[in-house]
Amino acid sequence: MLDPNLLRQQPSDLAARLRETRGFELDARALESLEAERKQIQVRTQELQNLRNTKSKEIGQLMGRVTRFNAEEDFDQADFCLSQVEQIKAQVAGFGDELKASEERLEAIRAELEAIALGIPNLPHASVPVGSDENGNVEQHRWGTPRRFDFKVLDHVELGARNGWLDGETAAKLSGSRFTVLRGPVARLHRALAQFMLDLHTGEHGYQETNVPLLVNADSMRGTGQLPKFEDDLFSTEVGESKRYLIPTSEVPLTNIARDTILEAEALPLRMTAHSMCFRAEAGSGGRDVRGMIRQHQFEKVELVTIAKPDESYAEHDRMTRCAEVVLEKLGLPYRRMLLCTGDMGFSATKTFDLEVWLPSQDTYREISSCSNCEGFQARRMLARFRNAAGKPELVHTLNGSGVAVGRALIAVMENYQNADGSITVPEALRPYMGGLEIIA
């Protein structure tokens, strides 16, 4: 969520920035009208509340005098005070309906303003290039040279199908489209990738391994920006009156660990990693990437999340992206780093680097990791703060990144390490996790 002062004080300027950078249309006039009404009704509501409190105090004082006069058996004075109490109660009743209506309207306006604020994307950092889609992204650097094959390259679906390792038909029978059953050494290779990534991030990169729930409440989804805007892309479950959401990424529970919390400065940066299942309805993906494991309803990721001080968050962003790059380098997978333009960034991000891995079957690079700095956007929703040098609570900055997507790493390993006979060479970094196995065939 953006700073409310931007919406209140600079709605027109904010609307222009959002239109130019995000292609997002903010109705500044409607916002200004709501804000003006809010101020007017809030002033009147406070006046009526103050009047009610004053009258309640007068009633209390008069009732005290009634008690005293009755004790003194001065019943005439007691009756006089009681008559005054009834007059004041009549006055309170006279403006009570207006006060109730004002309070209800004020609450409705606040809810409307909050709904508008929750639907506004984050503002891009000044270093982010302006663009409308992925064509505006800027390549930062490349690592590795794509392998040249002297035989026909197969994609991961063909490689997996030859030995029954990758089975989409059985998965469709069990669950429908965009699910996959893995068997044998490919299932083991998938598990090995996740273990390798966790060991690397915890042992060499200083992230704390964290096991998180796969079901979270609406507050957690709202805190990281999935709700209310992306509800159609989420899977949810209801038991009785309790509704929970299956996480689209472990960024959600990891980041929300800091929700409604004031952290000590010494605890930052707080670096966490988790291997988890992820669930996405892919409501807006149309018919893209329906073949194989590129875009699934259920997949696995090793996620990186950092809670940082504001003046350290961009150094942490570079560090996090580098941690994800090391995964690909140790696996020997060619990749490139892309700086996303304003129109291709995620809703909560202010700056994002994507890592794209080389897929021989497609003769192109495909996204395998996305590392974003959200600055205070999520923290403001979550009330996630730290105690600064002055001892005052201040919003933290939140960062998240894939370190990396396990299924897509499996695809990249299968395709880049394939052999002419359909076997797959196991990258050296994974052999300790495969019992020393060098080739799966």
State pLDDT tens for residues 181-226: 999 999 999 999 999 999 999 999 999 999 999 999 999 999 999 9
Which pLDDT score is estimated for 284? 62
Q: Which pTM was predicted?
A: 0.91
Residue 157 and residue 112 share a domain: no
Asked if residue 82 is part of any domain, the answer here is yes
**Confidence band of 287 (pLDDT split at 50, 70, 90):** low
To the question of whether residue 32 is assigned a binding role by annotation, the answer is no
How crowded is the C-beta side of 55, counted as CA atoms within 13 Å? Answer: 19
Catalytic residue among 280, 319, 337, 381: 280
Q: Which two tokens stand for residue 10?
A: 């600079």
Does the pLDDT value for residue 77 go beyond 90?
no
Which pLDDT score is estimated for 303? 98
Mean pLDDT, residues 315-341:
98
What are the residues facing 208 on neighbouring strands?
Answer: 272
CA 145 remoteness from chain centre: 34
Phi, psi (rounded to 5 degrees) for 48: -65, -40
For the question of residue 280 being annotated catalytic, the response is: yes
CATH number of the domain encompassing residue 77:
1.10.287.40
Asked if residue 294 is part of any domain, the answer here is yes
Which pLDDT score is estimated for 72? 79
Residue 206 and residue 111 share a domain: no
Residue 113 and residue 89 share a domain: yes
When divided into structural domains, the chain yields a total of 2
231 CB-near residues (< 8 Å, 6+ apart): none
Rounded Cα–Cα distance for residues 374 and 376 (Å): 6
To the question of whether residue 262 is assigned a binding role by annotation, the answer is no
More confident residue, 404 or 49: 404
Residue 376 and residue 337 share a domain: yes
To the question of whether residue 53 is assigned a binding role by annotation, the answer is no
Which pLDDT score is estimated for 285? 63
Which pLDDT score is estimated for 188? 98
Count Cβ atoms below 10 Å from residue 162 Cβ, excluding itself: 14
Which pLDDT score is estimated for 1? 93
Catalytic residue among 295, 322, 336, 366: 295
Asked if residue 404 is part of any domain, the answer here is yes
239 CB-near residues (< 8 Å, 6+ apart): none
To the question of whether residue 400 is assigned a binding role by annotation, the answer is yes
Which pLDDT score is estimated for 70? 86
Does the pLDDT value for residue 98 go beyond 70?
yes
Q: Which two tokens stand for residue 356?
A: 């794209």
Mean pLDDT, residues 86-113:
88
Which pLDDT score is estimated for 239? 93
Asked if residue 302 is part of any domain, the answer here is yes
Rounded Cα–Cα distance for residues 234 and 280 (Å): 6
Q: Look at residues 72, 91, 119 and tell me which one is the last residue of a structural domain.
A: 119
**Confidence band of 288 (pLDDT split at 50, 70, 90):** low
Residue 156 and residue 47 share a domain: no
Give the C-alpha distances (Å, rounded to integers) separating 53 from 40, 59, 103, 108, 195: 20, 10, 15, 23, 63
To the question of whether residue 72 is assigned a binding role by annotation, the answer is no
Does the pLDDT value for residue 39 go beyond 90?
yes
In contact, 416 and 189? CB cutoff 8 Å: no
- The H-or-E segment that residue 440 falls in is strand 439-440
Asked if residue 314 is part of any domain, the answer here is yes
Residue 321 and residue 197 share a domain: yes
Q: Look at residues 66, 94, 119 and tell me which one is the last residue of a structural domain.
A: 119
Asked if residue 239 is part of any domain, the answer here is yes
Asked if residue 53 is part of any domain, the answer here is yes
Residue 152 and residue 86 share a domain: no
Q: Look at residues 90, 119, 148 and tell me which one is the last residue of a structural domain.
A: 119
Q: Which domain holds residue 349?
A: 134-440
Catalytic residue among 102, 276, 361, 370: 370
Residue 16 and residue 164 share a domain: no
Least confident of 38-42, 97-101, 174-178, 313-317: 97-101
Per-position DSSP letters for 94-136, written without gaps between them: HHHHHHHHHHHHHHHHHHHHHHHHHTSPPPPPTTSPP-SSGGG
Mean pLDDT, residues 398-409:
98
In contact, 340 and 371? CB cutoff 8 Å: no
Does the pLDDT value for residue 369 go beyond 80?
yes
> b/e string for 54-63 if b means 16 or more Cβ within 10 A?
eeeeebeebe
Give the C-alpha distances (Å, rounded to integers) separating 389 from 37, 242, 262: 38, 41, 13
Give the C-alpha distances (Å, rounded to integers) separating 328 from 63, 148, 404, 427, 437: 78, 18, 9, 11, 20
Which pLDDT score is estimated for 320? 98
Residue 143 and residue 104 share a domain: no
Give the C-alpha distances (Å, rounded to integers) separating 136 from 265, 339, 344: 37, 9, 8
What is the percent of the chain with per-residue pLDDT over 70, rounded to a whole number?
Answer: 99
Residue 139 and residue 59 share a domain: no
More confident residue, 16 or 74: 16
In contact, 6 and 14? CB cutoff 8 Å: yes
Catalytic residue among 35, 209, 367, 394: 367
**Confidence band of 61 (pLDDT split at 50, 70, 90):** confident
For the question of residue 370 being annotated catalytic, the response is: yes
Rounded Cα–Cα distance for residues 77 and 69 (Å): 6
Asked if residue 112 is part of any domain, the answer here is yes
To the question of whether residue 325 is assigned a binding role by annotation, the answer is no
Rounded Cα–Cα distance for residues 134 and 345 (Å): 9
- One-letter amino acid of 154: L
Residue 248 and residue 103 share a domain: no
Phi, psi (rounded to 5 degrees) for 276: -150, 160
Q: Which two tokens stand for residue 252?
A: 């959600």
Catalytic residue among 220, 313, 408, 415: 408
Residue 90 and residue 182 share a domain: no
What is the percent of the chain with per-residue pLDDT over 90, rounded to a whole number?
Answer: 84
